[in-house]
Structure 1
Amino acid sequence: MGAKKILLLVVVVAAALALYFGGGSEYLTLARMQSLLGTARAYVDANPLGAALGFGAIYIIVTALSLPGATLLTLFCGAVFGLWQGLLIASFASSIGATLAMLVSRYVLRDSVRARFGERLKRIDAGIEREGGFYLFALRLVPVFPFFVINLAMGLTAIRAWTFYWVSQLGMLAGTFVYVNAGRELGELESLSGILSPGLLLAFAALGLLPLVARKALDWLRARKVYAGWDRPRRFDRNLVVIGAGAAGLVTSYIAATVRAKVTLIEKAEMGGDCLNRGCVPSKALIRAARAAAEANEGGRFGMQAGKTEVDFAKVMQHVRESIRTIEPHDSPERYRKLGVEVIHGEAKLVSPWEVEVDGRTLSARHIVIATGARPFVPPIDGLDGVPYRTSDTIWDLDALPKRLLVLGGGPIGCELAQSFARLGSETTLVEMADQLLGREDADAAAVVQAALEADGVEVLLGHKAVQAKAGEPHTLRVEHAGESSELPFDVLLVAIGRTANVEGYGLDALDIPLRKNKTIETDEFLRTRYPNILCVGDVTGPYQLTHAGAHQAWYAAVNALFGGFKSFRADYSVMPACTYTEPEQARVGLGEREAKETGTEVEVVKYAMSELDRAVAEAATAGFVKVLVAPGKDRILGATVVGERAGETIALFALAMKQGIGLDKILGTVFAYPTFAEAAKAVAGERRKRHKPDKLLDWVERYHRWQRGGP
């Protein structure tokens, strides 16, 4: 913070303290103001213009310095100047003072606060970027936070000062009117019994009802604006139409049918979406087969006759496809029709905010949920179309094990499949442009996974950028690293560098539904799009492209769609676990150590090595650790990372603890079955307890024991 900013901050604080400790605060009490009413009214009668300007100046100073008392000043304004003149003075003075407070906050605090708490301000920034003044108007009209907090917070954003002023002037008008009117009523009291007068009671009743009325009015204004030009049907064929039958769409339909809503589910491909057909299920089946091969090859360390296992890849893929077929009935049209869901196989297209066209039919519904998922992203690499490349969608079509597999991308999908194919016998190379695998995770966790891949024969090339693919004998991928170029041979290239939302082909552009910068559908915290009756769930909107995240969102979408007229719920992502199913597994929930450093969040890190866990030693699965981030000096869990055997199961314990507010001390006080991998959670809690043991108290306890023994 520069010298000028520090000087301005000192001046503001000094002025506030001088006003407060110099006796100014005495004038900001109800009793004091009531005692001044007679004098103030006499002065107004004698000097109306000077009184108005002077009072307005005092109001501006109090508001600009964010001092308490603005509410009492508004009441006093109504008592002294009457309703309409008081409203004029208080309205302009409060808006000018608020703007000055905002500008002071912007000049003095914005750079330093954003550097430290930038991540936490994203929600306000997103609202300003999306709706600008309308977002501020909502805050003013339905005050969740005190106005002085809004003034200071808005100074941290990029909102224009003029926009802030006129929106504040308009947004605070209703509340100012109620307070000024209440002050006028208070000013006319001749005795305490008069406080029960109908006019005063009506004023305060209006003040209490203002947030509810304002919210409804705001919703009406938004709807009127967004639905302009569309003809709303007089009646609807159904309550809900869901587009997409992946995990998110299936759960949304299930919940809607459970509460007896009339719901239609539309899917153009296979029920179950990516998770069942091309993602979670086939990948875990392949991982299990690859693990069996690895265990057979490593039997020597457990006293078995070691030897190279022959892999029948066709049977491996048969196991994968049988796994899909076995689970398939859970997501089948027949099951959902029995649950009461109308299932239509066809291609949906939005034709209005309430209508969906499917194969020539037009279906109307009060609400629509978009759950169209995502697909693998294929980068524009020169020559890629001319070589045999696969994605996580098409890798399952292989019938023969590739001799040389080149995996492009070091995220969860790339790591899982690279390790699996290497264990099954492919010569596998993994190419990652970043300087570590699993780029969203902590470096120590990624390092354990990388070591495991390399131990299984995967050649890991970090910091390598794919430049050009060439067909030939063999096919090659040219990569660049540290200014040098090399060519990597392959028989099959697996592209696994991320997924992109499915936002084309079903009418988003016709309805002008906006997308975010990352090409996912933009929604608010209630999962509503630009049109409040159209909601989005799952990979198509994010922020997490995880099956369980989409299923989690589905509850919010179904409830907000069907019952939002009574109560809406903000989607809660505070506890969202994720797991990479390599061996060892890597799982995380909540805050990571790297993320804490990037956001300036103060944490205490507690770590426990799997090599110290008895069950891990017994199973020769000692790679990895448990790492927990807690609030400094407290046992409240902010995040946890588990790398090791069955990390996906162990992380569930930490997710439960975070969701229910259970700290490490209570985990330490819980009895765990022995020996289990879950005991690692208790062990890490014990590490924190040892770190914070009361040494001084223990010194006295030691002296007590010495005295008990009769020692010196």
Structure 2
Amino acid sequence: MKNMKKPLLLTFIVSAIVAWFAFDLGDYFTLEQAKVYQHSLQATITANPLLSSGLFFLIYVVMTALSFPGAAIMTLLGAALFGFWWSLLIVSFASSIGATLAFLASRFLLRDWVQRKFGLRLAAINRGIEKDGAFYLFTLRLIPVVPFFLVNLLMGLTPMRPRQFYWVSQLGMLPGTAVYLNAGTQLGEIQSLSGLISLPVLLSLVLLGIFPFIAKAVMAFVQQRRVYQGWQKPERFDQNMVVIGAGAGGLVSAYIAAAVKAKVTLIEKHQMGGDCLNTGCVPSKALIRAAHTLHTITRAPEFGIRSQPAQVDFPAVMQRIHRVIKGIEPHDSVERYSELGVNCIQGEARILSPWEVEVNGTRITTRNIVIATGARPVVPPIEGIEKVRYLTSDTLWSITEQPKKLLVLGGGPIGCELAQSFQRLGSQVTQVEMTDQLLVREDADVAKRVQDSLMKDGVDIKLQHKAVKFDAATSDSGEALQYVILEDNHGQQHQVEFDAVILALGRVANVTGFGLEELGITLNERKTIDVNEYLQTRYPNIFAVGDVAGPFQLTHAAAHQAWYAAVNSLFGQFKSFKVDYRVLPAVTYTAPEVARVGINEKEAQAQGIDAETTQYELNDLDRAIADGEDYGFIKVLTPKGKDTILGATIVGNQAGELLAEFTLAMKHGLGLNKILGTVHPYPTMSEANKYTAGVWKNANKPERVLALLERFHRWRRGGDNGHQQKSQSDNLKAHLQESKDQQ
């Protein structure tokens, strides 16, 4: 019997819907019908007020529970028939009870299936409902952006408790119900067309139209009062914006504010340019360039060139890296930003209130604050780690002696880039990754190409291993030794010696030490600042961008967020923009490079998206063959039978450059057909994008149309002459046989 509950309920609902339309029951719930039967209905109500009220209440509950159209008309009718106060009592409870029944039906019939199929995509919504579900529902009830019946059904798919749903609906719908009933009392008094233009009716309709806007303003005011309660807002401000942190996110935020003539202060406690310039993107790419150059020299015989064995001058390599940093440094300097109109201050900032920041003993009042404090490398609590020489992306660039034996912990982008670079420069690298593949966010075939390349270079890759203990010792000859105990997924342990270890295990946001705790600004499960889709914290005038906000730890993602934070903070009272992450490219600078935008196969499967995969191998591309770089592929995901690009992954030489065309196409809604129809110069690597589109086109060619074209061309040649050709062939064969017999 338990297994029959869902089919029985579904049968009842479907039967009710069929009956509603089959018998045109909706015709009975109109204002016109009410006017026809108004006097007889009112006479019945006067004779049996309680019975009539109970029957009206029951009908209203059923209509709301089954999400039938006409609830608004029923509300107006209730006021016309029962008067304002009595109908307010009936309708407010009937609508809430009916809404809760619809909520429960939706939950009983659909929630398990929806959460099972779309759970990953709904995870953020579920967390939001668990945290602020009551306030969110209350807002929807007050401001009917979404029809109430849809709110009932959709909320049933979330983790919201039924009791909470009921009382929030009861309170939230009450003001709107009162406005509708007030209009209904006036409409009930209309006796002729002239009554339509009476002042009370017009006032009721105007109130009904502007109520959502009034409710929205009231909710915003209440929320703001609740958030800022206990803080004293200054009467005037020194700055329009204060930015904390001069990395990519902070620099762009300050730049935009200065460009629109806002008064902005930028505070940095260490170095302008942040991690990207000083310890991240710039130095790592300079190191990769040196490693690739040496690798190219070792391949010289492949191109018919003889050369002497190259030698690595490691101190010179590091000196060039610092020269590169110095060369780019002016782009992010205090001098440049001061010229742009930014007030640059070096010192440690501390947020004292939602409108006050202190630096170097000076208190600055500001309308808005942008937090761009970045992140730092993770140093794991592995036993004995303090006994060994460990490096991170922050400290790596100060070394002048190349490690002979290098241990790299981590198989992400940073770990792979550094492991390959040091291996190519002459270190013997051991790379350790806890999972079963490098680059765990990428598809397995993508990670396999990178792994094969690293192994070909000589990197000793240990997957499904973890470091459990570090130690140091002295050999019999007096040489200092450092080693790590690795444990595989079977529990087996073995020892690996090293001269230095690079910790490439991710980065943790800088969220302490500058006042977030005192303001009660919360963190999310990733331990980054919890921001909404406008990049606002719990205080609408405090924003966060870059690594400290997540979800991406990419320089260009921080700059992308910075535009939204700057514009929303300075002009949000007029128009706010939701940050758009749909088209955000990323590149791992190994050899081959891995470049991606949109989703890959792994993410499509996790999200339940049935996508078509198109793949083009670069060993078919003329320019790649000529350059000796015919290794890798382009893989594009599209909906079945459509050329819309859901995501593109490129593995190969110059993958980051090739990705730009797909990024542009996705941003502006261009499909593979547009790429196929674009002229690409020959011979270039960019032709690979066009050939990938060609592979998709060939797999999706219109077979029926082509069959019709084949018949058309046959007709143009003179009709179907297949039989005639066969007869001529048979005659020729017979003639040849006859000549042979005569001979």
Interval containing the TM-score (normalised by the shorter chain): over 0.9
Aligned to 1:240: 241
1:274 Cα offset (Å) = 0.5
Identity of aligned residues (%): 56
Aligned to 1:269: 270
1:468 Cα offset (Å) = 0.7
Is structure 2 residue 266 aligned with structure 1 residue 259?
A: no
Aligned to 1:356: 357
Aligned to 2:217: 216
Matched AA of 1:494: I
For the residue of structure 2 that corresponds to 1:311, the secondary structure is coil
- The equivalent position to 2:533 in structure 1, one of 508, 521, 525, is 525
Equivalent residues in 2 for 1:35-114, closer than 5 Å: 35-114=36-115
Matched AA of 1:692: N
Q: 1:238-285: per-residue Cα shift (whole Å, max 9, x none)? A: 111111111001100111111111111111000110011111111111
Closer, same or farther: CA 645–143 of 1 in aligned 2, 3 Å: farther
Closer, same or farther: CA 367–615 of 1 in aligned 2, 3 Å: same
Q: 1:119-141: per-residue Cα shift (whole Å, max 9, x none)? A: 33234223223323112112222
Moved more, 37-46 or 575-584: 37-46
For the residue of structure 2 that corresponds to 1:637, the secondary structure is coil
Aligned to 2:741: none
- The equivalent position to 1:657 in structure 2, one of 639, 651, 665, is 665
Aligned to 1:475: 482
Counterpart CA distance in 1 for 2:379 and 2:7 is: 51
* Kept after mapping to 2: 8 A contact 1:297/1:307: no
1:187 Cα offset (Å) = 2.2
Counterpart CA distance in 1 for 2:310 and 2:9 is: 75
For the residue of structure 1 that corresponds to 2:508, the secondary structure is strand
Aligned to 1:590: 598
* Kept after mapping to 2: 8 A contact 1:349/1:506: yes
Equivalent residues in 2 for 1:138-287, closer than 5 Å: 138-287=139-288
Aligned to 1:565: 573
For the residue of structure 2 that corresponds to 1:189, the secondary structure is coil
Closer, same or farther: CA 197–688 of 1 in aligned 2, 3 Å: farther
1:67 Cα offset (Å) = 2.3
Q: What's the TM-score, normalizing by structure 1?
A: 0.97
Equivalent residues in 2 for 1:662-677, closer than 5 Å: 662-677=670-685
Aligned to 2:341: 340
Counterpart CA distance in 1 for 2:199 and 2:693 is: 61
For the residue of structure 2 that corresponds to 1:471, the secondary structure is strand
Equivalent residues in 2 for 1:372-451, closer than 5 Å: 372-451=373-452
* Kept after mapping to 1: 8 A contact 2:120/2:606: no
1:3 Cα offset (Å) = 4.5
1:33 Cα offset (Å) = 4.2
Aligned to 2:737: none
Q: 1:423-458: per-residue Cα shift (whole Å, max 9, x none)? A: 111101110001111111111111111111111111
Counterpart CA distance in 2 for 1:13 and 1:145 is: 24
For the residue of structure 1 that corresponds to 2:646, the secondary structure is strand
Closer, same or farther: CA 647–204 of 1 in aligned 2, 3 Å: farther
Counterpart CA distance in 1 for 2:375 and 2:567 is: 24
Counterpart CA distance in 1 for 2:690 and 2:35 is: 62
Aligned to 1:631: 639
Counterpart CA distance in 1 for 2:631 and 2:140 is: 51
For the residue of structure 2 that corresponds to 1:164, the secondary structure is helix
- The equivalent position to 1:688 in structure 2, one of 696, 699, 703, is 696
1:644 Cα offset (Å) = 1.3
For the residue of structure 2 that corresponds to 1:62, the secondary structure is helix
What stretches of structure 1 of length at least 5 have no aligned partner? Answer: none
Moved more, 430-439 or 676-685: 676-685
Counterpart CA distance in 1 for 2:633 and 2:407 is: 29
Q: 1:48-84: per-residue Cα shift (whole Å, max 9, x none)? A: 2222221121121121122222222222222322332
Aligned to 1:553: 561
1:640 Cα offset (Å) = 1.3
Runs of 4+ in 1 over 4 A off after TM superposition: none
1:703 Cα offset (Å) = 2.4
What stretches of structure 2 of length at least 5 have no aligned partner? Answer: 474-479, 723-743
Closer, same or farther: CA 479–186 of 1 in aligned 2, 3 Å: same
Counterpart CA distance in 2 for 1:618 and 1:185 is: 83
Q: 1:649-674: per-residue Cα shift (whole Å, max 9, x none)? A: 22222121111111111221111222
Q: Which has the larger radius of gyration?
A: 2
Aligned to 1:129: 130
Q: What's the TM-score, normalizing by structure 2?
A: 0.93
* Kept after mapping to 2: 8 A contact 1:298/1:306: no
Closer, same or farther: CA 197–319 of 1 in aligned 2, 3 Å: farther
1:686 Cα offset (Å) = 1.3
Counterpart CA distance in 2 for 1:301 and 1:22 is: 83
For the residue of structure 2 that corresponds to 1:465, the secondary structure is strand
Aligned to 1:299: 300
Moved more, 571-580 or 205-214: 205-214
Closer, same or farther: CA 676–49 of 1 in aligned 2, 3 Å: farther
Moved more, 200-209 or 155-164: 200-209
Counterpart CA distance in 2 for 1:678 and 1:201 is: 65
Matched AA of 1:454: M
Counterpart CA distance in 1 for 2:691 and 2:57 is: 63
Closer, same or farther: CA 308–22 of 1 in aligned 2, 3 Å: farther
Q: 1:196-218: per-residue Cα shift (whole Å, max 9, x none)? A: 33333333322332232222211
Closer, same or farther: CA 446–32 of 1 in aligned 2, 3 Å: farther
* Kept after mapping to 1: 8 A contact 2:616/2:688: yes
Equivalent residues in 2 for 1:638-649, closer than 5 Å: 638-649=646-657
1:43 Cα offset (Å) = 2.3
Matched AA of 1:475: Q
Aligned to 1:24: 25
Aligned to 2:120: 119
Counterpart CA distance in 2 for 1:307 and 1:97 is: 86
* Kept after mapping to 2: 8 A contact 1:384/1:470: yes
Moved more, 269-278 or 660-669: 660-669
Aligned to 2:733: none
* Kept after mapping to 1: 8 A contact 2:592/2:652: yes
Matched AA of 2:383: D
Equivalent residues in 2 for 1:497-512, closer than 5 Å: 497-512=505-520
Counterpart CA distance in 1 for 2:208 and 2:121 is: 31
1:334 Cα offset (Å) = 0.9
1:32 Cα offset (Å) = 3.6
Counterpart CA distance in 2 for 1:287 and 1:302 is: 22
1:406 Cα offset (Å) = 0.8
For the residue of structure 1 that corresponds to 2:237, the secondary structure is coil
Closer, same or farther: CA 696–217 of 1 in aligned 2, 3 Å: same
* Kept after mapping to 1: 8 A contact 2:267/2:344: yes
* Kept after mapping to 2: 8 A contact 1:243/1:372: yes
Matched AA of 2:596: R
Counterpart CA distance in 2 for 1:649 and 1:406 is: 31
1:418 Cα offset (Å) = 0.7
For the residue of structure 2 that corresponds to 1:172, the secondary structure is helix
* Kept after mapping to 2: 8 A contact 1:78/1:183: yes
* Kept after mapping to 1: 8 A contact 2:535/2:564: yes
Moved more, 93-102 or 28-37: 28-37
Matched AA of 1:705: H
* Kept after mapping to 1: 8 A contact 2:382/2:468: yes
Counterpart CA distance in 2 for 1:42 and 1:455 is: 93
Matched AA of 1:577: P
